[in-house]
Amino acid sequence: MNLEVTEESCEKMTEKTLLVIKPDAVQRGLIGEIISRIERKGLKLNALKMIKLTEDDVDKLYDIHVEKGFYPLLKSFILSGPLVAISIQGKNCVKIVRKLAGATNSPEAEPGTIRGDFGIDLTKNIVHSSDKPERALYELGVLFESEDYVSFDLINKSWVE
């Protein structure tokens, strides 16, 4: 067994998550505000793109919800305009980004969270973020290709870990 720790194997070991800035937040000019909160927390963005999803993309991204009653509304909202997909990398990033996002239902989200500060609705709830590390890898795989990722070290890395 090869136990050598290379830069590449470290990259693979670090937790990753997906953050989607949904069409409502894009239209409301909140992209910079939301990205700023992730950066100020100390997390690293290692892939980012603005895209309009296809129906197939939405079905894959939300595969666990396709049978649910709210899915048609969610799907038409996600298809209604461009969104920004961001891959975030860093220790405990799945939990941290969920905390920064706040409760799924915006009216229940605490002030100070992204949804608590900007959302008023359950479907139009500003952002989506993966709820588990395994789920993050699946969802990132729906929206990103391997060549979309950039491998680099933040110069402040030692101050935020």
Residues in a beta bridge with 128: 20
Q: Which is nearer to ligand CMP, 54 or 156 (CB)?
A: 54
Active site residue 128: yes
| 94 within 8 A of 130, measured Cβ to Cβ | yes
Which region among 48-56, 81-89, 122-130, 139-147 touches ligand CMP (by CB under 6 A)? 122-130
- Using CA atoms, how far apart are residues 125 and 123, in angstroms rounded to an integer? 5
Provide CB contacts within 8 A for 12, sequence distance 6+: none
Q: Which is nearer to ligand CMP, 66 or 150 (CB)?
A: 66
C-alpha to C-alpha distances, 84 to 20, 32, 37, 155, nearest whole angstrom: 6, 11, 15, 25
Q: Does 80 bind ligand CMP (CB under 6 A)?
A: no
Give the nearest distance from C-beta 124 to ligand CMP in angstroms. 7
Give the nearest distance from C-beta 139 to ligand CMP in angstroms. 10
Q: Which is nearer to ligand CMP, 80 or 104 (CB)?
A: 104
Choose, by CB under 6 A, the member of 79, 104, 137, 149 that binds ligand CMP.
104
Burial class (CB in 10 A: 0-12, 13-18, 19+), 31: middle
Radius of gyration of the chain from Cα atoms? 16
Q: What amino acid positions are annotated as catalytic residues?
A: 128
Binding site for ligand CMP (CB under 6 A): 65, 70, 74, 104, 122-123, 125, 128
